[in-house]
Structure 1
Amino acid sequence: MKILKKSLLLLFTVLLLAVFYNYPKLNILAGYSSKMTGSSVFLAKRNLAFTDSTDTNFSPIDLAHNSVDEKSKTAKSSAFGLLTRKSVYREGFGNVLLVDGVELDKSMPIPQRSAPNNSTEFPYGNAEPKDSVFANIDYDKLNSTVASMFNDVNKTRAILVVHKDKIIAERYETGFNKESLLLGWSMTKSITSTLFGVLQCQGKMDVYEKAPFAEWQNDDRKNITIHNLLQMNSGLEWNEDYNSISDVTKMLFLTEDVTKIQIDKPLVGKPNETWNYSSGTTNVLSGILRKQFKTHKEYLDFWYTGLIDRIGMNSMVVETDMSGNYVGSSYAWATARDWAKFGLLYLHNGNWNGDALFDKDWVKYATTPTPTSDGWYGAQIWLNAGGRYPDVPKNMFSFNGYQGQNVFILPDQDLVIVRLGLTKNADVNNFLSGVINSFK
């Protein structure tokens, strides 16, 4: 009996230690699952069964058990019954993951939105575009190239190809269509940076000014400029690892204010000499945007009135954290067609059907390679200047996001190509070159 008791005690101790060691990981696991479940069900209007089979069906997230309450618009995710995380959907703000012990501010003003233009055809409105046929396009080759991305390897959900403002190819995976909201993940970073371009064009912002943080004034961080942050070249410490308890997973799933976590980080390099991809940096930029306005409502409205609704991306919703900051690093949802409009805005050098949001100088600035990025990165925009895609023009640039969200802009070909999927391992080089080669 003594041996049995000792064995049971040892087993209990081992289990206790295992739970203690893995509890933070379970917290993030359940947090991710709750956040994505609530956004998928209440914002994107997909049912729970479909969400479980398409959005939270990968390891280790599929270990969580998810449930939703339609009346309260809440989603709960349990990790082995050891802990449960809860998120809540709020109209105008999307779905927000709650942090234990923090009260959600329910008094925030709802962002101002514009009514969709449903009478003008895409891209300058939301009406169906007229059929267009270009004599210099091999449509069989184009459609074959698009079809090749829809399989178990490439895991594509949506592809849209736009040439000279006309849709020349459009395809969706089963269960998705032109009305489906799809999460852009880090393509949201390009939305955030573009707002700085809008303010700069209005004469309300100089991106070469020092970042406005009192916390940085007594050390070398005082030399960090907004420009350095836009290029992710500040020298600030940051760990962008989605497979562990890292800075980025703690920011997205364990904190109520995403704008603060990197502000407290030390320098580990020199500004303008140490490129490091950081979602924390983008949310610092979201915090800087908030400082540009006298009221919280002005900040909330500006993202839509200054950019999103201004170019008719009426389906887009950018979700906030518990403190009412837009999660500018990660949480913009929109249809494939509205993501394409964003690419067309850059293709047209900031001019949207006669409305100048920014100018060609901003596009040049945003697509200039960041020092030490090997030609991969500009101002929150990915570049091909370093030849990452060898069979694609080097002046191609793109908005990219986790799991293979992309809007590719090819100025020489007058092309915008949207690809939204579930894996970044898709053969993008052959896909893009295949589209290009479909032109005779």
Structure 2
Amino acid sequence: EDEIRVVGRVAFDAAEYAATTGHRVARAVGEWYYATGNYHILSRELRISIVGPHLNTASEHPAQLEYADYPWARVFGAIGAESFVCERDARGNLLFGTSCWATQRDWLKLGVLMLGRGIGPGGEQVVPPWAVADLFGDAKGYGENSHYIYGWYRLDRLLNWNLCGPILAAIGIGGNYLVVVPEQDVVLLRMSWK
């Protein structure tokens, strides 16, 4: 199974965490609320999975570069989105949940990627098939109505919109959002600084 998927389940599900790590959960699982810190933790775990085996060796620097290049090599480059800039914390962890910037055109390219259910412009599967199945299918998400999956809001679930299948939204800071409605072949982008 894909390591990123396991890390995601462990980060969001206390029972899964206890079963996977062997650590006791300090308190009963309550209702889950969105927190950007979850994605900062996942970014750190991705860095550790790439760099960790190379710490204090001659291959540490190339591994750090591999992590730093990961989103551009795996996603942004595959869709021709050249303007993305993502901030990092003091350890070098990419801050995807709050601090990525791009042109309108490149945000729309990301929306078109999701509109095509993860298939890039060259026909390659950019988003792993399991993630596409979870995002667009009946997979249980988190939060009220299971509306939050892998950093995307399922607006059809959150707002009980049973109009036209899945509606994905990446909702950023300052009134920014990207909405993808595959059944209607629509991508909406709002960039704002309210």
The TM-score with structure 1 as length reference comes to 0.36
Shift of 1:386: 2.6
2:118 paired with 1:350? yes
Tell me, which stretches of 5 or more residues in structure 2 are unaligned?
16-24, 52-62
Matches within 5 A, 1:409-428: 409-423=180-194
SS at match of 1:362: helix
Match 1:276 to one of 25, 29, 33: 33
Does the 8 A contact of 1:375 with 1:384 survive in 2? no
- Per the alignment, residue 239 of structure 1 pairs with none
Matched, 1:366 2:148: no
Aligned equivalent of 2:9, options 213, 227, 244: 227
Q: Which runs of 5+ in 1 are unaligned?
A: 1-199, 212-225, 236-265, 424-440
* 2:188 alignment partner, SS class: strand
Classify 1:416/1:360 alpha carbon distance in 2 versus 1 (closer, same or farther; 3 Å).
Answer: farther
Q: Is the 8 A contact 2:118 2:126 kept in 1?
A: yes
Which residue is equivalent to 2:109?
341
Query: For the structure 1 residues 326 and 394, does the alpha-carbon distance in structure 2 shift closer, same or farther, using more than 3 Å as the test?
Result: same
Q: Report % sequence identity.
A: 23
**Once the 2 structures are TM-superposed, how far is the Cα of residue 276 of structure 1 from its aligned partner?**
1.6
Larger Rg: 1
> Quick check: 1:384–1:393 contact (8 Å CA) kept in 2?
no
For the 8 Å contact 2:33–2:143, the answer to whether it is kept is no
User: Where do 1:113-152 residues align within 5 Å?
Assistant: none
Match of 2:167 in 1: 396
Give 1:233 deviation, angstroms. Answer: 4.5
Structure with the greater relative contact order (CA < 8 A, sep ≥ 6): 1 or 2? 1
- Corresponding position: 1:305 with 2:77: no
Letter of the 1:319 counterpart = E
Native 8 Å contact 1:233 1:274 kept in 2: no
Query: Shift in Å at residue 286 of structure 1?
Result: 0.4
Superposed CA deviations along residues 63-107 of structure 1, whole A, max 9, x for unmatched, are xxxxxxxxxxxxxxxxxxxxxxxxxxxxxxxxxxxxxxxxxxxxx
CA deviation digits over 1:353-389, x for unaligned, max 9? Answer: 2122134432121353425432421221101233527
TM-score (ref. length: structure 2): 0.76
Q: Deviation per CA, 1:183-217: give whole Å up to 9, x if none.
A: xxxxxxxxxxxxxxxxx7xxx53623xx5xxxxxx
* AA of the residue aligned to 1:303: P
1:381 aligns with 2:159: no
Higher share of residues assigned strand = 1
Alpha-carbon distance between aligned partners in 2 of 1:304 and 1:400, rounded to the nearest angstrom? 21
Give, in whole Å, the separation in 1 of the partners of 2:44 and 2:155.
29
Partner Cα distance (1:357, 1:386) in 2: 25
SS in 2 for 1:275: coil
Higher share of residues assigned helix: 2
Runs of 4+ in 1 over 6 A off after TM superposition: none
Q: 1:321 aligns to what?
A: 89
